[in-house]
Amino acid sequence: MNDETEPSVAPPQEADAAALSSGRRRLLKAAAATVGTALAGVPIAGFPQIMKRDFQGITLRHIGVSYAVQREIGEQASKDLGFKIEMQNLDTSASITRFVTQPSSVDIADMEGWQVKVAMARGLLQGIDSKKILEFDGILPIFTTGVYEGRKISRQGISPYEVMYTDGPEAKKIVEGQQQWLTFLPQVFNADSLGYRPDKVGREVSEWKDLIDPKFSGRAAILDIPNIGIMDAAQALESRGDLVYGNKGNMTRKEIDTTIDALIALKKKGHFRASWSTFEQSVELMASGEVFIQSMWSPAVTAVLEKGIPCVYAPVGIKPNGKEGYRGWCNGMSLMKHLSGKKLEAAYEYLNWYYSGWQGAYVARHGYYSPVPRTAKLQMTSAEFEYWYMGKPAAEIIKSDHGQPIGAVGSVRDGGSLAQRFSNIACWNTVMDENQYMVQRWNEFKAA
Amino acid sequence: MSDAEPIMRNSLSLPRSATAAASPPRAERAARVAGDVPRRAWTFYALAAFFSAYVLFLYGPMLCMYVLSFQGPQGALSFPMRGWSLHWFQQLWSGRTADLAGAISRSIPLALIVMAITVVFSVAAGLGFRRRVRGSSAIFYAVIVSLTAPGYILGIGIGLMFSLFGWQTSWFSSALGAHLSWTLPFGVLITFAVFGRFNGAYEEAARDLGASPSQTLRMVVLPILAPGIIAIALFGFTLSYDEFARTLQTTGPSNTVPIEIWSMTQNVTSPAIYALGTVTTAVSFLFIGTALAAVTLIQRRRAAAPRTH
Amino acid sequence: MLARYKPYLQLAPLTAVLLLFVAAPLVLVVVVSFFRSDGFDTIPAFTFENYHAILSSGLTASLYLKMIKYAAMTWAASLVIGFFVAYFLVFHVRNRNLAIGLFLVCTVPFWTSNVIRMISWMPVLAEQGVVNSALLKLGLIRVPLRILLFSDFSVVLAYVHLFTIFMIVPIFNSMSRIDRNLFEAALDAGASRLDTLRLVVLPLTKSGIVMGSIFVVTLVMGDFYVVKVMSGGGSASVVSAMYDNVSTLLFPPAAASAVILLLILTVLIAILTRFVDVRQELVQQP
């Protein structure tokens, strides 16, 4: 389970993927023998009994946005692990500010891929030893190798793969290519596209340019987080054919200007009804009918469906001409530099718990994905797994986490399977080199 | 406080009031406003209507909120209503989606403490400002600066400062201080307004009659200042309970109510917050109703009791 | 004698809080405002580039103009409402307990968090909301009014809704201290109600009005989330621009912006307090 039971082989100097992988398989078999019964369909309450005694009195503070750091997950973890998980929700901006200005007040920093880049530049983190992560092999190759379904994952924007590896336990800088030490452990991820009201729009939407279609003037909304919203705008403009971007995730000043100017023109024409910055706003805009089409997060679509209102997540797979594609994002957990001793061990237990299945099943029912589907699978009914991960038609009524029906028998999840979505990523959430300029121009758009 | 007597104007008699006999004679004005119509009717009703409109304006959205908080599990944050149930109140207390109960258990004591400290510090400062001592100008401008400093940035500054000193932020240290930095300017400025009309003669009279300084304070100054003090207390509590910007970075490991709600909206859309509003209002009305009833009862009993002087 | 030091002692608690929680953090903010930002790093330096960038940017001007517009409209509305509500409560309500009760009724909504109250405007102003439904039913409009929500109107409405209480309380305070004899005397002397209002009540309420104005203007100019939510992200404010900067760790520009806002507001208020010279009223002759 932890390093004490690992076969006493000197750790390889270089991260030889194959060798490590087989070593891990051996380790996993050994671990599975002890906890196999716990994982295979029996309530997870049996998870590391042996550990509970050691970590009494430890509290881990896990801070991040509320869609990644969910209270129920923390409570379950506390129950299973025997020590306290204290979760705190702040919005994106406040949490990264907290990590930077008050680092000792945080133990586990929950961040997006691009925020990891920022945090690493500030020297806030310590490296995560991938050998201590039991399910490392189970992590989808999107993250570990940057290749998925035979294709290289898009490098527009900041993909998790490119920020995931670091040079050592000191975590001094980000290193390209697979290494032993990680900067963060992905815990939840998804691909964003557009959401729309099929009853109001009247046809299928599968292209980003529909967001700026004049037919929807006054009925569209865009995301108001500058470094993400601008990418949605870029997708729309590229889809309409205005220009082709070099890297939507790292635009030149000229590209930024073109994008913002187009946005300002649209705003002046009254195209955008609103721009939203919280999940709740996006759901309300769609549910109340104020807006027919908007950039949207998948769970927001689920929330609208829960209210009995039709809402579809536009499948914007990459077309043969190279246009369209989803915008991917990923949240993960990092260890703050100051963790050591017993607390550090507890942190590793916590990280491993995330990959043990309960969390994976939980987030799946909200429409997110876990990086380790094979353990999540064990905590869901096979019909659920087929629906959420494999994109198959529902064999039973699919219920939300609160028990509300959201998928009728035979319905297919928007965007199809995980594989379909993630081999169609056009760009990842990002922060650009010209960030300061971009934020200023974005504010000009807002003030227009 | 004398009652505002309705003024009846008619061509036959002068306006009367309870204290008319005590008022000094004044020079007559040349023009007399015509009108046998009792003025009271017009302005009173107009103003009463205006007041009602304001209350309606204040409570309008709240009424929608009360109604929507009773929705069923499919409820959204806007109309149309979806179902009727107490589901969202249950959600509120179960703490499934957010730790609202916990946040309340932090916000309310904090607000009460901030209220108490604000009153004491503001009144003391008001007393202190009465003499032009050295540095009082600087302190006055510091008070103004504290009011105008953008809360979000100041909060970051406080958090950073705590971190540099190696202190842990928490809701009863850094958040308390941040809240005080916000409420004290309000308290001090109100004290200025209140003291500005304060007639020092009362204090002198008390002294002449042999009262000690603390007795003067307790029995003369504070009762006269009482309405102002209540205003400061009211502001102190409300400002602290609602404070958001300065608290974001200073609250420590657990959130206060506004932050918890704001963070919640990042992830869920839940009429549970409406349920919270309904509960808060119900509790407040209950509280005020009981307080007022108690006060009226005490006053009646005092009025009924035989006077000895 | 202890009496000489009494004022210092009385001012001490306030001063302590101000030093620790305002002065010290602001020193940090000012220092950071002179740093340079490079990517995500904040490099200690001494440069005016942040100030220069802000003061020479057209964006700054348009943001300030917008906030000043909001502040002016909110101030005007809250002044009118606040004055007449206070006037009603002080001079027209006979029973004192009733007056206090009504006053408290006005304050109860403020114990529900601002965030919730803002959100609760949505069902009222939305297309399918209460106002539109009512107007449609009454036949006053044919098509739902979309201007009610996500516009300047909704922002100012929210500001007035949230902040009028800060105008009512000081004015209420000032008015309740007006000696009723003056009122009666003026009416005895033949003044109309309007004249009494203009010549007696208004001058004596001046300090309350100034107080309330200071509060309201400060609250509006310093806001960042009301404008974000109620305009549907359609407007930015000075502070919301700071917020966006901080999201990507651009601390120096945000700090510089904060210092500039602070200076502008402080000067504004200093001027306002000169009008009434609040402290002059307060200081006794030794």
Identify all chain A residues contacting B160, using CB atoms and an 8 Å cutoff. 101-102
Greater model confidence, C221 or B223: C221
**CA–CA gap between residue B85 and residue B92 (Å, rounded):** 13
Of the partner residues B78, B169, B269, the one whose CB lies closest to the CB of residue A303: B269
Question: Which domains can be identified in chain B, with CATH numbers?
Answer: 43-85 (no CATH), 99-304 (1.10.3720.10)
DSSP secondary structure, B106-131, as one string: HHHHHHHHHHHHHHHHHHHHHHHTTS
Asked if C161 reaches chain A (Cβ–Cβ under 8 Å), the answer is no
pLDDT at A38: 39
Residue ranges of the domains in chain C?
Answer: 51-277
Residue at token pair 């912006």 = C257
| Structure letter (DSSP) for residue A271 | -
Computed over every residue of chain A, the mean pLDDT equals 83
Q: Do B269 and A284 touch (CB under 8 A)?
A: yes
For C279, name the nearest residue in chain B, comparing CA atoms only.
Answer: B192
Residue B148, Cα to own-chain centre: how many angstroms? 20
Phi first, then psi, for residue C190 (nearest 5°) are 105, 10
- Written as six digits, the tokens of B254 are 């657990």
**CA–CA gap between residue B261 and residue B259 (Å, rounded):** 5
Query: C44: Cβ–Cβ under 8 A, 6 or more apart, which residues?
Result: C35
Minimal C-alpha gap between A200 and chain B (Å) = 17
pLDDT tens per residue across span B142-194: 998 999 898 889 999 998 899 888 888 888 889 999 999 999 999 998 888 77
Greater model confidence, A378 or B203: A378
Greater model confidence, C3 or B203: B203
- Written as six digits, the tokens of A154 are 């898009």
Q: Do B265 and A308 touch (CB under 8 A)?
A: no
| pLDDT class of C75 with cuts at 50, 70, 90 | very high
| Structure letter (DSSP) for residue B251 | S
pLDDT tens per residue across span A138-197: 899 889 888 888 888 888 888 899 999 999 898 888 998 888 999 999 999 988 889 999
Q: Is the pLDDT of residue A21 over 60?
A: no
pLDDT at B95: 67
Q: Do A66 and B99 touch (CB under 8 A)?
A: no
Q: Is the pLDDT of residue C146 over 70?
A: yes
Query: B309: Cβ–Cβ under 8 A, 6 or more apart, which residues?
Result: none
First to last CA, chain C: 15
Q: What percent of chain C has pLDDT over 90?
A: 27
Contact in structure between B245 and B152 (CB atoms under 8 Å): yes
Half-sphere exposure of A64 (CA within 13 A, CB side): 24
**CA–CA gap between residue B65 and residue B77 (Å, rounded):** 8
Of the partner residues C7, C130, C166, the one whose CB lies closest to the CB of residue B131: C7
| pLDDT class of C277 with cuts at 50, 70, 90 | low
ipTM score: 0.85
Of the partner residues B54, B143, B186, the one whose CB lies closest to the CB of residue C18: B143
Of the partner residues A91, A98, A307, the one whose CB lies closest to the CB of residue B262: A91
For B289, name the nearest residue in chain C, comparing CA atoms only.
Answer: C101
pLDDT tens per residue across span A202-221: 888 888 888 988 888 889 99
Identify all chain A residues contacting C250, using CB atoms and an 8 Å cutoff. 435-436, 439
Q: Is the pLDDT of residue A27 over 60?
A: no
Minimal C-alpha gap between A282 and chain B (Å) = 9
| pLDDT class of C279 with cuts at 50, 70, 90 | low
Greater model confidence, B270 or A228: A228
Can you give the pTM of this predicted structure? 0.82
Chains that touch C (3 or more CB pairs under 8 A): A, B
Q: Do C21 and B79 touch (CB under 8 A)?
A: no
User: Helices C96-107 and B39-68: crossing angle, nearest 10°?
Assistant: 40
Interface test with A, best of B79, B81, B266 (most A CBs within 10 A): B266
Q: CATH 3.40.190.10 in chain A, residues?
A: 19-188+329-398, 191-326+405-447
Q: Is the pLDDT of residue C154 over 50?
A: yes
Phi first, then psi, for residue A148 (nearest 5°) are -145, 130
What are the distances in angstroms from CA C141 to CA A215, B240, C132? 24, 42, 8
Identify all chain C residues contacting A227, using CB atoms and an 8 Å cutoff. 247-248
Identify all chain C residues contacting B60, using CB atoms and an 8 Å cutoff. 124, 130
Contact in structure between A170 and A127 (CB atoms under 8 Å): yes
Which sign, positive or negative, has the C-alpha torsion A41, A43, A45, A49?
Answer: negative
| pLDDT class of A62 with cuts at 50, 70, 90 | very high
Q: What is the 3-state secondary structure (H, E, C) of A277-329?
A: CCHHHHHHHHHCCCCCEEEECHHHHHHHHHCCCCCEECCCCCCCCCCCCEEEE
Amino acid at B42: W
Q: List helix spans (H) across A1-148.
A: 17-39, 49-52, 71-81, 92-101, 113-121, 141-144
| pLDDT class of A47 with cuts at 50, 70, 90 | low
Q: Which of residues 20-79 of B touch A (CB under 8 A)?
A: 73-78
Q: Is the pLDDT of residue A32 over 60?
A: no
Q: What mean pLDDT comes out for the span B183-211?
A: 82
What are the distances in angstroms from CA C247 to CA A156, B106, C237? 21, 27, 15
Query: C160: Cβ–Cβ under 8 A, 6 or more apart, which residues?
Result: C74, C77, C78, C81
How many cross-chain Cβ pairs, A to B, lie less than 8 Å apart?
Answer: 105
Interface test with A, best of C50, C224, C249 (most A CBs within 10 A): C249
Q: Do C224 and B152 touch (CB under 8 A)?
A: yes
For A89, name the nearest residue in chain B, comparing CA atoms only.
Answer: B263
pLDDT tens per residue across span B80-138: 777 888 888 887 777 666 677 788 888 889 999 999 999 999 998 888 887 777 788 88
| pLDDT class of C28 with cuts at 50, 70, 90 | very high
CB atoms inside a 10 Å sphere around CB C55 = 12
Which of these, B102, B101, B104, B105, lies nearest to B89 by C-alpha position?
B101
Q: What percent of chain C has pLDDT over 70?
A: 95
The CATH fold assigned to C51-277 is MetI-like fold (1.10.3720)
Quick one: how many helices (H) and strands (E) in chain C? 17, 2
Greater model confidence, A138 or B211: A138
Computed over every residue of chain C, the mean pLDDT equals 85
Q: Which of residues 267-296 of A touch C (CB under 8 A)?
A: 267, 272-277, 280-281, 284-285, 288-290
Q: What is the CATH number of domain A191-326+405-447?
A: 3.40.190.10
pLDDT at A26: 52
Q: What mean pLDDT comes out for the span A338-352?
A: 92
Interface test with B, best of A63, A66, A309 (most B CBs within 10 A): A66
pLDDT at C256: 92
Superfamily of domain A19-188+329-398: Periplasmic binding protein-like II (3.40.190.10)
How many cross-chain Cβ pairs, A to C, lie less than 8 Å apart?
Answer: 100
pLDDT at A52: 59
Contact in structure between C97 and B293 (CB atoms under 8 Å): no
Q: What is the dihedral of CA A113, A116, A121, A123, to 10 degrees?
A: -160
Most confident of A46-50, A432-436, B119-123: B119-123
| pLDDT class of A292 with cuts at 50, 70, 90 | very high
Strands A147-148, A151-152: pairing is antiparallel
Phi first, then psi, for residue A331 (nearest 5°) are -105, 145
Of the partner residues C41, C128, C245, the one whose CB lies closest to the CB of residue A439: C245
- Written as six digits, the tokens of C56 are 């020479």
Q: Do B264 and A303 touch (CB under 8 A)?
A: no
Lowest mean pLDDT among A364-373, B179-188, C186-195: C186-195
Q: Which of residues 93-152 of A touch C (CB under 8 A)?
A: 93, 96-97, 100, 117-118, 121-122
What region, left, alpha or beta, does residue A32 occupy, with left being phi > 0 and alpha being psi -120 to 50 degrees? alpha
Q: Is the pLDDT of residue B27 over 70?
A: no
Angle at B239 between CA B234 and CA B240, to 5 degrees: 105
pLDDT tens per residue across span B242-254: 888 889 889 888 8
pLDDT at A51: 53
Asked if C250 reaches chain A (Cβ–Cβ under 8 Å), the answer is yes
| pLDDT class of B12 with cuts at 50, 70, 90 | very low
pLDDT tens per residue across span A302-343: 888 878 888 888 888 888 777 888 888 999 999 999 999 989
Q: Do B125 and C11 touch (CB under 8 A)?
A: yes
